[in-house]
Amino acid sequence: MTHPGEITRRQLLRRIGFTAFVAGPGAGLLSACATAGTGAAPAPAPSTSLAASADPKNPFGVDAKKPLEVVIFSGGYTDAYAKEVHEELYKKAYAGVTIKHNATQQIGTQLRPRFVAGDVPDVLNNSGPESMDLTALAAEGHLADLTPLFDAPSIDDPAVRVRDTLTPAVLENARVNGMNLVLNYTVSHRALWYNAKLFASKGWTAPKTWAEFTALGDEAKKEGIVLFAYPGQKGPYYQLWNILYTAAKIGGNQAIIDIDNLVDGVWTADPMRQAVTAWAEIQAKYGDKAYFGLDHTQTQVKQLQNQVLFYPVGSWIENEMAKDIPDDFEYAIAPIPDVTANDAMPYGAIQVGVGENFVVAAKGKNPQGGLEYLRIMLSKEGARGFTEKTKNLTVVNGAAEGVELPAGLVSAAKAQDSAGQNIITEARFEGWYKELFDYGTEQTNRVMAGRITPEQFCTAMQKKADDIKQDESIAKQSRS
Amino acid sequence: MRRLRTYGFVAAFLAVPFVLYTVFVISPYIQAFQISLTSWNGYSSVVSYVGLDNFVRLLRDEVFWRALRNHGVMLVTLPLVTIAIALFLSFLLNLGGGPGGSGVRGLWGSRFYRVVFFFPQVLAVAVVGVLFQAIYRPDEVGVLNGVLARLGIEPVGWLIEPSLALWSVIAVMVWQGVGFYVVLFSAGMAAIPKDYFEAAALDGAGRLRLFFSITLPLLRDTVQVGWIYLGIAALDGFALIQVLVGNKGEPDGATTILPITIYNNAFSYGKVGYASAMGVALFFLTVTFAVLTLRTTRRERVEL
């Protein structure tokens, strides 16, 4: 799934089995996957050997005799899209090739030792709660440069380069340590999600201003419906996102960019303070504290039962709850209402982000095959297959044409159209400075529960951001 | 020659466990000490030594101290409460019955109760965690809050109020632990010759007197062992808290404990060196606790 903390119950149990062993009383076992000894300095990625050639059929010079190993995070999307679509396409293109398919939910547990030992898979879907620190892997030269991939001819039209077939955010988000190393494959739309059928039956419309939002809250209260809820257990980051996006709506994308760049005083600046204050008030007046103790699934089920009006999440929600959606429920996206009279972004702005990381190992046995595999994923056929299997959109432009999409995705696509240029950027510190992000989710629960004031929230976050900035052991990233 | 044969026999049996123990327990411990002196991030092939920096940073880390404080609370309450309840129950099961409280038999149905008390022990920690999530659930669907709602009382956020959360977790640990110690103490009580109780009862000792003058002194060793087990359990608690409350010691770090902090630092934040330093600190805490407990409770054997 695109959301990192998302874990299924089975996965949780499995994880517990593992972690209970690792961090037992002594916790000395932590180092069971210890260093491979004091090796030499990491070799730079062999980028020269991967230059794209002119041959549009096989630009990377893939050797069909070389096997390819693919590791897929088998979470909400499962691994069918890889096994039944992409790998089949690869085998069709290179007859006789063997593919070692490996699906797991424990990316970190399985692969961290392999990276340390130097026995790496060619293609890796780095996702889920145990996803690995790509910055650290990049610093070790483990990730192949994807520039040749982006510059290679696309499969559907050799005259068009791969980079021109993709949502621009892919290229922006590919960069780690100044190099193009990560392919984000999915597109998701984040804002507030509600039940369109309930709104239609009550004659309600999505609120455009904060006053309309609270008026609807009063209305809903009479019906015994909570205006807004987020899961305080396992999902408080949904609300942290929501606050960040609200701050971006008030102060423009620069608010989030500055947070990512650890700019001094950005957390205590007006946009952030206004966003937190607005949401803390909504929670205090229209919320229910029980949700602080419910997890995402429990909260989502309550929304399906029409007990919650708005829920801050991304477009994967529809597929996630697909089995449980009742007949009188239809997911639709609502942009965040205007907080102030002069928000930097007009009503309609939503967050459209790319996610689901794929990388190619630079020191693997078949990096050429890895790049080619990604090129196949980015073909129209590969992308359409993914959308059909997972009901989620990909970064490939126009690949979903002709695929029958569920109502929620259609509403998200419409919302993106009407948002036009007003697309809220994603907060990248979530991946860059996990410690700051985790601290943020904790503080989010505190401020929403009223245990600290919005001012204290801002001060605490700023202090943590300053600490991270000063910590030399943490590699710094920057964006624009 | 005969000696050699005896020792050879013993050595052959010890070799395999010894090797396994060295490889899977001792060597990781030693490595943790080594890594705690580095700034290793878990991926790097180059490991740079930073001396005692990690430990200096540890002393300034608010989360570390909060975790220690939580361990302190658990270390005091968990053994105390568990052992008190377990002693009470096992006394009733083994010696509480009989005509006029003669103290040689258990209460009626004690075999049945013994099995019932042991049930929680059989459940895996993860199952207990999921179970108590349902029990503590903060709306009317929750088992406890459902009962409260019937009585017209507002739902209580057992796991979401920072002042309650740790106690709720400790209650689960007690619930799960008591059964084992009832069985442990019952075994201890069964080993006490019945004559003592009969003699004391003839002299007119009541149930209370029997318990404090005979049972407890003769159970001393068993209780001491139980105390150490429970203390170590209090220093762990990782799996239960992870499932029950969350992976960051929610809410507001009220249930943060060292193993959780270690796990997050090592596997989420890429600070394996720092996490190892915490592991080393935890190691010394555990050892200190065990030694202290053994020292302070040591005394001459009771003369019979």
Query: What are the φ/ψ torsions at residue A73 (nearest 5 degrees)?
Result: -75, 115
Q: Which candidate from A36, A233, A435 shows the least CB-CB separation from B269?
A: A435
pLDDT of residue A26: 35
User: Is the distance from CB of A345 to CB of A252 less than 8 angstroms?
Assistant: yes
In a domain, B46, yes or no: no
- Could you tell me if B12 and B70 lie in one domain? no
- Could you tell me if B111 and B255 lie in one domain? yes
Res A11 pLDDT > 50: no
pLDDT band, very low/low/confident/very high, at A36 (cuts 50, 70, 90): very low
User: Is the distance from CB of A237 to CB of A5 less than 8 angstroms?
Assistant: yes
Element (DSSP H or E) covering residue B172: helix B162-190
Q: Which candidate from A17, A26, A441 shows the least CB-CB separation from B286?
A: A26
Instruction: State the average pLDDT over residues A91-106.
Output: 93
User: Is the distance from CB of B286 to CB of B235 less than 8 angstroms?
Assistant: yes
- Could you tell me if B238 and B117 lie in one domain? yes
- Find the radius of gyration of the CA atoms of chain B: 24
pLDDT of residue A209: 97
pLDDT of residue B11: 85
Contact state of B252 with A12 under an 8 Å Cβ cutoff:
no
- Could you tell me if B5 and B68 lie in one domain? no
Instruction: Determine contact: B235 vs chain A, CB below 8 A.
Output: yes
Distance CA A138, CA A146 (A): 12
Contact state of B139 with A451 under an 8 Å Cβ cutoff:
no
In a domain, B296, yes or no: no
pLDDT tens digits along B91-124:
888 876 665 545 566 777 778 888 888 888 889 9
- Could you tell me if B97 and B185 lie in one domain? yes
DSSP A153: B
In a domain, B209, yes or no: yes
Express as a percent the part of chain A with pLDDT over 90.
Answer: 69
Which 3 state secondary structure label does DSSP give A422?
coil
Nearest to B184 by CA among B296, B86, B71, B84: B86
Distance CA B236, CA A321 (A): 35
- Provide the shortest C-alpha distance from residue B156 to chain A (in Å): 9
Helices B162-190, B62-95: axis angle to 10 degrees equals 40
Residue A58 burial (CB < 10 Å; 0-12/13-18/19+)? middle
Distance CA A175, CA B222 (A): 61
What domains sit in chain A, N to C, each tagged with a CATH number? 50-187+353-410 (3.40.190.10), 190-352+426-470 (3.40.190.10)
Query: What are the φ/ψ torsions at residue A455 (nearest 5 degrees)?
Result: -60, -45
- Could you tell me if B116 and B167 lie in one domain? yes
- Provide the shortest C-alpha distance from residue B291 to chain A (in Å): 15
Contact state of A445 with B279 under an 8 Å Cβ cutoff:
no
User: Is the distance from CB of A474 to CB of A464 less than 8 angstroms?
Assistant: no
pLDDT of residue A203: 95
Instruction: Determine contact: B53 vs chain A, CB below 8 A.
Output: no
Distance CA B44, CA A117 (A): 11
Cβ-Cβ contacts under 8 Å between A and B: the total is: 174
Distance CA A144, CA A186 (A): 20
Q: Which amino acid is at A450?
A: G
In a domain, B223, yes or no: yes
User: Is the distance from CB of A124 to CB of A111 less than 8 angstroms?
Assistant: yes
- Could you tell me if B76 and B170 lie in one domain? yes
Distance CA A91, CA B273 (A): 43
Tokens 């922006």 correspond to A172
Instruction: Find the domain containing B10 and state its range.
Output: 1-26
Element (DSSP H or E) covering residue A117: helix A107-117
| Surface of B (148-207) touching A: CB under 8 A | 155, 157-160, 162
Q: What is the pTM of this model?
A: 0.84
pLDDT band, very low/low/confident/very high, at A24 (cuts 50, 70, 90): very low
Instruction: Determine contact: B257 vs chain A, CB below 8 A.
Output: no
pLDDT band, very low/low/confident/very high, at A134 (cuts 50, 70, 90): confident
Res B127 pLDDT > 90: yes
pLDDT band, very low/low/confident/very high, at B54 (cuts 50, 70, 90): very high
- Average pLDDT value over all residues in chain A: 87
Distance CA A75, CA A55 (A): 36
Tokens 């916790």 correspond to A27
Q: Which amino acid is at A63?
A: D
- Could you tell me if B17 and B78 lie in one domain? no
- Provide the shortest C-alpha distance from residue A176 to chain B (in Å): 16
- Provide the shortest C-alpha distance from residue A292 to chain B (in Å): 7
Res B50 pLDDT > 50: yes
pLDDT band, very low/low/confident/very high, at B204 (cuts 50, 70, 90): confident
Contact state of A16 with B243 under an 8 Å Cβ cutoff:
yes
Number of domains in chain B: 2
Tell me the chain B residues in contact with residue A28 when contact means C-beta distances shorter than 8 Å.
25, 28-29, 31-32, 279-280, 283
Per-position DSSP letters for A261-326, written without gaps between them: TT-TTSTTSHHHHHHHHHHHHHHHHH--GGGGG--HHHHHHHHHTTSEEEEEEETTHHHHTGGG--
pLDDT band, very low/low/confident/very high, at A50 (cuts 50, 70, 90): low
Q: Which candidate from B31, B43, B263 shows the least CB-CB separation from A136?
A: B43
pLDDT tens digits along B70-98:
999 999 999 999 999 999 998 888 876 66
In a domain, B95, yes or no: yes
- Could you tell me if B7 and B116 lie in one domain? no
Which pairing describes strands A423-424 and A331-334: parallel, antiparallel, or unpaired? unpaired
Q: Which amino acid is at A420?
A: G
Q: How many helices (H) and strands (E) does chain A have?
A: 20, 12
pLDDT band, very low/low/confident/very high, at A260 (cuts 50, 70, 90): very high
Nearest to A131 by CA among A114, A109, A101, A103: A109
Instruction: State the average pLDDT over residues A192-211.
Output: 96
Element (DSSP H or E) covering residue B16: helix B2-21
Distance CA A304, CA A325 (A): 6
Distance CA A354, CA A394 (A): 8
- Could you tell me if B12 and B109 lie in one domain? no
- Provide the shortest C-alpha distance from residue A12 to chain B (in Å): 8
The dihedral over CA atoms of A143, A148, A154, A157, expressed in degrees to the nearest 10, equals: 180
- Which position has the higher pLDDT, B219 or A44? B219
| Surface of B (55-114) touching A: CB under 8 A | none
Instruction: State the average pLDDT over residues A375-381.
Output: 95
In a domain, B292, yes or no: no
In Å, what is the CA distance from B273 to each residue of A99, A266, A377, A473?
Answer: 37, 31, 38, 11
User: Is the distance from CB of B95 to CB of B104 less than 8 angstroms?
Assistant: yes
pLDDT tens digits along B223-280:
988 988 898 888 888 999 989 988 888 888 899 999 999 999 988 888 899 999 999 9
Nearest to A378 by CA among A361, A407, A399: A399
Give the list of residues 6+ apart from residue B292 with CB closer than 8 angstroms, or none. Answer: none
Closest chain A residue to the Cα of B244, Cα to Cα: A233
pLDDT of residue A351: 95
Q: Read off the tokens for A428.
A: 């990248």
Beta partners for residue A424, in sequence order: A351
Tell me the chain B residues in contact with residue A41 when contact means C-beta distances shorter than 8 Å.
45-46
Tokens 């929750």 correspond to B142
Q: Which candidate from A9, A26, A445 shows the least CB-CB separation from B29?
A: A26
Least confident window among A276-280, B25-29, B70-74, B199-203: B199-203
User: Is the distance from CB of A376 to CB of A86 less than 8 angstroms?
Assistant: yes
In a domain, B57, yes or no: no
Tell me the chain B residues in contact with residue A131 when contact means C-beta distances shorter than 8 Å.
none
pLDDT of residue A304: 97
Q: Which amino acid is at B144?
A: L
Give the number of other CB atoms < 10 A from CB of residue A338. Answer: 22
Tokens 């995402």 correspond to A296
DSSP A163: G
pLDDT of residue A135: 84
Tell me the chain A residues in contact with residue B276 when contact means C-beta distances shorter than 8 Å.
30-31
pLDDT of residue A105: 87
- Provide the shortest C-alpha distance from residue B276 to chain A (in Å): 7
Q: Which candidate from B159, B236, B269 shows the least CB-CB separation from A24?
A: B236
Euclidean distance between the first and the last CA atom of chain B, given in angstroms as a whole number: 42
Per-position DSSP letters for A74-138, written without gaps between them: -STT-SHIIIIIIHHHHHHHSTT--EEEEEES-HHHHHHHHHHHT---SEEEE-STT---HHHHH
Instruction: Determine contact: B276 vs chain A, CB below 8 A.
Output: yes
- Provide the shortest C-alpha distance from residue B116 to chain A (in Å): 25
Tokens 């596997």 correspond to B267
Which 3 state secondary structure label does DSSP give A209?
strand
Instruction: Tell me, rounded to whole angstroms, the distance of Cα A415 from its chain centroid.
Output: 19
Distance CA A157, CA A303 (A): 44
- Provide the shortest C-alpha distance from residue A33 to chain B (in Å): 9
- Could you tell me if B120 and B12 lie in one domain? no
Contact state of A30 with B262 under an 8 Å Cβ cutoff:
yes
pLDDT of residue B198: 83
pLDDT of residue A53: 62
Q: Read off the tokens for B134.
A: 């349902």
pLDDT of residue A10: 38
Which pairing describes strands A179-180 and A175-176: parallel, antiparallel, or unpaired? antiparallel
pLDDT of residue B206: 80
Tell me the chain B residues in contact with residue A11 when contact means C-beta distances shorter than 8 Å.
none
Res A49 pLDDT > 60: no
Element (DSSP H or E) covering residue A332: strand A331-334
Nearest to B189 by CA among B288, B97, B70: B97
- Could you tell me if B184 and B98 lie in one domain? yes
Give the list of residues 6+ apart from residue A340 with CB closer than 8 angstroms, or none. Answer: A210, A250, A274
Contact state of A12 with B126 under an 8 Å Cβ cutoff:
yes
Res A25 pLDDT > 70: no
CA angle A9, A12, A14 (to 5 degrees): 115
Q: How are the residues of chain B apportioned to helix, strand and coil, as percentages rounded to the nearest 5? A: 75, 0, 25
Res A464 pLDDT > 80: yes
Distance CA A455, CA B196 (A): 68
Question: CATH code at B145?
Answer: 1.10.3720.10
Element (DSSP H or E) covering residue B67: helix B62-95
Instruction: State the average pLDDT over residues A292-321.
Output: 93
In a domain, B43, yes or no: no
User: Is the distance from CB of B5 to CB of B22 less than 8 angstroms?
Assistant: no
Instruction: State the average pLDDT over residues A385-390.
Output: 92
